[in-house]
Structure 1
Amino acid sequence: MVRLVFFFFLVRIVYPAGAQPASPLDRLVSVDARNERLADVLRAMSQQANFGFSYNPAVVNDTRTVTLRLSKQPVRVVLGRLFDGQTVSWKVRGNHVLLLGEGETRKEPSHFFLDGYIIDEQTGNRIGAASVYERTSLASTVSNPYGYYRLKLARDLPTNARVEVRKRLYAGESVTLGARQSRTVDVRLRPLPTPPAPATVAANNTPPPPAPIATRQPPVAADTTPTDLANRAPTLPPPPADSVSDTNRRTGWDQTLRSLERAYEVARQIIHRQNLDADTLYRPFQISLLPYIGSNHRLSNHVINHLSINLFSGTALGVTGIEVGGFMNHIRGNVQGVQLAGFANFVGHNVYGFQSAGFLNQTKGDVEGGQAAGFMNGVRGNVSGLQLAGFLNLVRGKATHSLQAAGWANKTEGDANRVIQLAGFSNRTRDLSNGLQVAGFINHARVVRRGVQIAPINVADSSGSVPIGLLSFVRQNGFRRFEVSANETFPVNLSYRTGVRRFYNLLTVGAKPMDLTGSPVWQAGYGVGTAFGLGRTWLVSVDVSSHAVWNSRTEVLFDNWKPALLLRGTPTLEKRFGRLALAAGPSVVFYHLSNATNPLQNTRLLISDSPAVDQLTFSNRNWTSWIGWQAGLRWTN
């Protein structure tokens, strides 16, 4: 709904509603005068087109006789022929045309005007929304709905200065300037061959081919080829290919960025952007206050600058040196150099250099160099270099030879080759090769090849290295064991091992249902281990684990709970039978009391002589030990 309202508003700005009358200078009249007084000819014109002339007879000689024959031509064309060679100019006030003599205009102006109509070479229809500009001064204008243009030019232009005329789907024209004086030049544009169907353009997101440019020296006087022209506004040109692509595939973040980039584009800039995509201008320096309010004027979007200073915000086609913005920089093409902004940098294509922004760097292409942002760096292409962000680094493509550091997360949707990711919370990539992931909470990669993951939780589909953390999950070639076991202290234990063979994590809980007094005793532990195969069905694993031991008295659980500590080292031999396996082995156990309470004081160990734990000898620091055993049934992956 918002886009429909904006489109309607744009149409009303560029092409006024049909109910509004055309400017008196654009209305069509016919003249057939032979030695008639000028006053009579002007009166006949005003009656035909329903407007009035106003002038001072002291400076405009209306008693002279004129001879002229024209059919259905705009009033401004007829006036140009009537006053050809005379110092008479005209302007519109409401429904009146004011004729001004030499004494009523500024003498020796520093500028002159080039005006006329843009005409379709094949149909003879006038062309609205055509771009007219001069490369040196960047003076520009857009033809009105009736095809008329008026371009103000400085008299001190270079001798080789030319005026360029561009219209989407038409071949471009270049008009060579002669004498530096106001004149009328009609420009005829040749339509290009019919472009591919819109569906094909939208699917491939490929713009039409650049318009060829024809250079010609036009006549000074207006072309008077008779045409039967209707006073109607032409249809708005279709949007460029990138605006008709599949909007549903864009994320909310992408659409928000697109809205920000076009927020300051008004109707004339949108027309220039559609017409001048094949034209590139260059400037060594530019300064602006706001987009299109600066030394590059309304053609900012088509200029590549070497040094660019945006006091608040600015836009350009590219930068080849340094760009500094007090608030925001927007580049439609590439950045080759350094880009600094107080708030945000937006780049439509690639960055070859370094970007720094107080809040956001957003690049639609690749980045080769570095980015630093207070909040987020976003890249829709590939990255090679440095990324530093206070919150998030987001890369839609691949990362190579890079360092990514973020306060919260790094996310690379493509592969990461020779990349270091450092994040306060999480790192994510597709394939990690010869890289390192270090996170405060979780690392995730689809495939890890000769890379290392270090975090409390590491996740991978497959891994050719050793993840280091409290819990590691490797789906395809990982090591997983779910075990029901018994040992000399606790007859019932449930354990889960996860990771890779060379290094895995162990979680375990167990219980002794009743000690000598009939009370249950519990344990919960965590450990690490390693395993190596002895053939297809035999395996040896070594576990080292730490366990908290307590009994079930609620006052112990909720009032200054200090469980006893049990350390266990267990080598086991495993024999597989399909997915099931039997495992058994000896254990070395160390037991420590953290306070005077001994949760195992009424527990007998299932070893030789079945001693009670409280009968064992404790050191001065409340440590004791024994040799035990462990056996269990495992479910393997």
Structure 2
Amino acid sequence: MRISFLKKKGWLTCLVLMIVLPATVQSQSLLSRNVSLEVKRQRLDHVLEILSNKGDFYFSYSSYVVRKDSLVSLSVHNRPVREVLSQLFNNTYEFIESGNYIIIRKAPIRVTMITHKAAEEDRIYMVTGYVYDEATGAALLDASVYEKRLLAATLTNPDGFFKLKLKGNRKSTASLTVSKEFYEDTTVVIEPRHNQQLTITLMPYERPDDQIIISPEDYLNTDTSSPALVVQDTGIIRTVADVPEPARVEKTRVGKFFLTAGQKVQSLNLKNFFTKRPFQVSLVPGLSTHGNLGSQVVNNFSLNLFGGYTAGTNGVEIGGLFNIDQKDVRYVQIGGMFNVVGGEMKGFQVAGMTNTVLKPVEGVQVGGVNNYVKGSLTGFQVAGVYNHVTDSVRGLQIGGVANFARRTVSGVQLAGVINFSNRETRGMQISGVFNYTKRLKGVQIGLINIADSSDGYSIGLINIVLKGYHKLSIWTNEWQDYTVAFKTGNRRLYSILLAGMNGGAARKRFSFGYGLGSEWGLGKKQLFSFNPEFTTQYIYMGSWDYSNILSRIQVNFNVHLGKWVSVFAGPSYNIYKSDQTSGIDTYKYPLPGNGYSAHKWGEKTKGWLGWQAGVSFF
């Protein structure tokens, strides 16, 4: 009986141990778990993977911090994970547990502040110090150190050193902010009117691409298995603002030429900091009433004697040579040579040479040479040479040579040589030579007009609609044996280029000319149509000394024999003006010839009824 009881008690003990021991192991600190490891000249990331499998936990670290391709050798037996990691990494690293993760990161650098008492009557005090990368400990070059209220700023040198002179009074407060591209902003409260030396660290942005997770094999990754790291309060304020698209005025030709490398770096570092002031005066960028932070200030009135570099204008800005604004400009901007705006321009903008706006424009833009808008235009744009809009135009473009709109034009393009609309034109294109639009829903007037498709009207010597009306017609009429014409445009309005001749060596006659026409369909199946056309031709009858001009109105009735061929015939009325009074040997003279009665419109002008019949292709 006792043996039976002991057996039962033994089974009960085993059951309790089976339940309790795993829970005890599971509750054991990850860094305290014992592991054995034997590796020789293997990559560090492979070694961490082996540790992860042996300890049944995750590793999390940034590729910016850990050199995973380093080769390591290690031999340990039944030692804690913390000790193994300490041998793999030096004492500048720390290991933090978070859930089932071990987070590897650089140990933070100790932030120090040494204050020296300054004379109370001295309102000027000096702040010096060093700025380091908190993850690597490396000195940071070109980090911006600035006091927002006083608008005082400087950049760190290659050693991370900075020196900043500030002004204060007994009641004033001050704080320094340190910013650098790809790092979190750090703000340190300082004691006014005391010289002091600081050591400040910046934390790099944690980018998803830099974060590496090493997990044990066959480990079930739940939705909640992610590292959560709580940073201890150090008295330092760190902020991570949404990173907007980088400032772009520095990348323009004007920006590259007039801005120093330091000013460009400052703008990149401080892209999250902007403030407002009533006015500013500057000689050149960097020499202004706002000091080195003038590029981060939006002003109501801005006067730049030679040139200026500000955050924006909400009022009036005048520059002797140039104005450069990172953000929006509203109301009035006048530049002797150049204006560059990184944001929107709303109001009136004029420059002796070039206006460049990197976002939409609403208002009036006048450039002595050219205007460039990287956005849409709503309003009026005029340039001595060239206007360029990368989006839609709603209004009027006037260019001495050319206008360009990448998208829709709803208004008028007027140019001496070329108008170009890469999408749709709902209005007018008027040029001395060439107009192009992808889709025409308005009017083109120029020597050459081209459109991919058209629901409008093209008026010019050559009108081409690539997906429109194309016909090659051959006919005869009452005064000429053969005429060939090429018709192109759309059914509403097409242009006609034509030339003709008579056969026979003793009755020669040549002609060439231009005209306009339209095709109207008859019936639902469009088997029949009629074409009213007007043409004007010069007729050569042996000498260029004479002016023989024939204007002709004709109506052709068409029968479509298929998709590509039609035959036509119809009446015409001719008005002929000529100063040729006699024929020349081997040329047929006069017009219209025997059998046609003509009535006079004047001493050199007469008219008559005629006809034509022929065939059209395409």
Match of 1:405 among 394, 398, 408: 398
Contact 2:246 2:268 in 1 (8 A): no
Match of 2:512 among 524, 540, 553: 524
Relative to structure 1, is the Cα distance of residues 268 and 599 closer, same or farther in structure 2, using a 3 angstrom cutoff?
A: same
Relative to structure 1, is the Cα distance of residues 156 and 484 closer, same or farther in structure 2, using a 3 angstrom cutoff?
A: same
Match of 1:114 among 107, 122, 127: 127
Deviations 1:75-130 (A, max 9, x none): xx99x79xx6698xxxxxxxxxxxxxxxxxxx954411112222444555544432
Relative to structure 1, is the Cα distance of residues 350 and 520 closer, same or farther in structure 2, using a 3 angstrom cutoff?
A: same
Partner of residue 185, structure 1: 198
Task: Name the aligned partner's letter for residue 323 of structure 1.
Answer: E
Task: Name the aligned partner's letter for residue 517 of structure 2.
Answer: G
Matched, 1:164 2:177: yes
CA RMSD of aligned residues (A): 3.4
Relative to structure 1, is the Cα distance of residues 158 and 500 closer, same or farther in structure 2, using a 3 angstrom cutoff?
A: farther
Match of 2:553 among 561, 565, 569: 569
Q: Distance in 2 between matches of 1:337 and 1:633?
A: 63
Relative to structure 1, is the Cα distance of residues 321 and 618 closer, same or farther in structure 2, using a 3 angstrom cutoff?
A: closer
Partner of residue 235, structure 1: none
Describe the SS at the equivalent of 1:263.
Answer: helix
Match of 2:531 among 541, 551, 564: 541
Matched, 1:454 2:439: no
Task: Name the aligned partner's letter for residue 594 of structure 2.
Answer: P
Partner of residue 504, structure 1: 494
Contact 1:174 1:215 in 2 (8 A): no
Deviations 1:504-549 (A, max 9, x none): 222221112347xx15221222222222111322111122222222
The 5 Å alignment of 1:390-539 reads: 390-400=384-394, 402-416=395-409, 418-449=410-441, 451-476=442-467, 478-514=468-504, 518-535=506-523, 536-539=526-529
Matched, 1:596 2:584: no
Q: What's the TM-score once normalised by structure 1's chain length? A: 0.68
The 5 Å alignment of 1:227-306 reads: 258-306=252-300
Partner of residue 240, structure 2: none
Q: Identity across aligned pairs (percent)?
A: 30
Deviation of 1:354 (Å): 2.2
Contact 1:344 1:358 in 2 (8 A): yes
Partner of residue 311, structure 1: 305
Relative to structure 1, is the Cα distance of residues 426 and 157 closer, same or farther in structure 2, using a 3 angstrom cutoff?
A: farther
Contact 1:523 1:548 in 2 (8 A): yes
Describe the SS at the equivalent of 2:330.
Answer: strand
Contact 1:315 1:329 in 2 (8 A): yes
Deviation of 1:290 (Å): 0.8
Q: Distance in 2 between matches of 1:605 and 1:405?
A: 49
Describe the SS at the equivalent of 2:263.
Answer: helix
Q: Distance in 1 between matches of 2:170 and 2:452?
A: 66
Relative to structure 1, is the Cα distance of residues 600 and 399 closer, same or farther in structure 2, using a 3 angstrom cutoff?
A: farther
Deviations 1:140-169 (A, max 9, x none): 122232232221111349723322122333
Match of 2:594 among 611, 614, 618: 611
Q: Distance in 1 between matches of 2:530 and 2:117?
A: 107
Relative to structure 1, is the Cα distance of residues 465 and 125 closer, same or farther in structure 2, using a 3 angstrom cutoff?
A: closer
Contact 2:168 2:192 in 1 (8 A): no
Relative to structure 1, is the Cα distance of residues 109 and 180 closer, same or farther in structure 2, using a 3 angstrom cutoff?
A: closer
Contact 1:603 1:612 in 2 (8 A): no
Partner of residue 584, structure 1: 569
Matched, 1:130 2:143: yes
Aligned residues: 479
Relative to structure 1, is the Cα distance of residues 603 and 173 closer, same or farther in structure 2, using a 3 angstrom cutoff?
A: closer
Describe the SS at the equivalent of 1:300.
Answer: helix
Partner of residue 222, structure 2: none
Describe the SS at the equivalent of 1:467.
Answer: strand
Q: Distance in 1 between matches of 2:558 and 2:193?
A: 97
Deviation of 1:318 (Å): 1.6
Contact 1:601 1:612 in 2 (8 A): no
Partner of residue 628, structure 1: 610
Contact 2:541 2:587 in 1 (8 A): no
Describe the SS at the equivalent of 1:162.
Answer: strand
Deviation of 1:274 (Å): 3.0
Relative to structure 1, is the Cα distance of residues 190 and 616 closer, same or farther in structure 2, using a 3 angstrom cutoff?
A: closer
Relative to structure 1, is the Cα distance of residues 191 and 378 closer, same or farther in structure 2, using a 3 angstrom cutoff?
A: closer
Deviation of 1:279 (Å): 1.5
Relative to structure 1, is the Cα distance of residues 158 and 629 closer, same or farther in structure 2, using a 3 angstrom cutoff?
A: farther
Task: Say which is worse superposed, 131-140 or 618-627, in terms of deviation.
Answer: 618-627
Deviations 1:332-386 (A, max 9, x none): 2221232110101011222122211011101122112221111111111111111
Relative to structure 1, is the Cα distance of residues 586 and 303 closer, same or farther in structure 2, using a 3 angstrom cutoff?
A: same
Relative to structure 1, is the Cα distance of residues 411 and 600 closer, same or farther in structure 2, using a 3 angstrom cutoff?
A: farther
Relative to structure 1, is the Cα distance of residues 158 and 585 closer, same or farther in structure 2, using a 3 angstrom cutoff?
A: farther
Deviation of 1:291 (Å): 0.9
Task: Name the aligned partner's letter for residue 144 of structure 1.
Answer: N
Q: What's the TM-score once normalised by structure 2's chain length? A: 0.70
Q: Distance in 2 between matches of 1:565 and 1:264?
A: 61
Matched, 1:334 2:328: yes
The 5 Å alignment of 1:204-215 reads: none
Relative to structure 1, is the Cα distance of residues 605 and 285 closer, same or farther in structure 2, using a 3 angstrom cutoff?
A: closer
Contact 2:537 2:550 in 1 (8 A): yes
Describe the SS at the equivalent of 1:182.
Answer: strand
Partner of residue 153, structure 1: 166
Q: Distance in 2 between matches of 1:489 and 1:342?
A: 65
Q: Distance in 2 between matches of 1:616 and 1:382?
A: 59
Contact 1:521 1:600 in 2 (8 A): no
Contact 2:487 2:494 in 1 (8 A): yes
Relative to structure 1, is the Cα distance of residues 124 and 373 closer, same or farther in structure 2, using a 3 angstrom cutoff?
A: closer
Unpaired segments of 5 or more residues in structure 2? 1-111, 212-230, 238-243
Deviation of 1:288 (Å): 0.7
Describe the SS at the equivalent of 1:621.
Answer: coil
Contact 1:488 1:605 in 2 (8 A): no
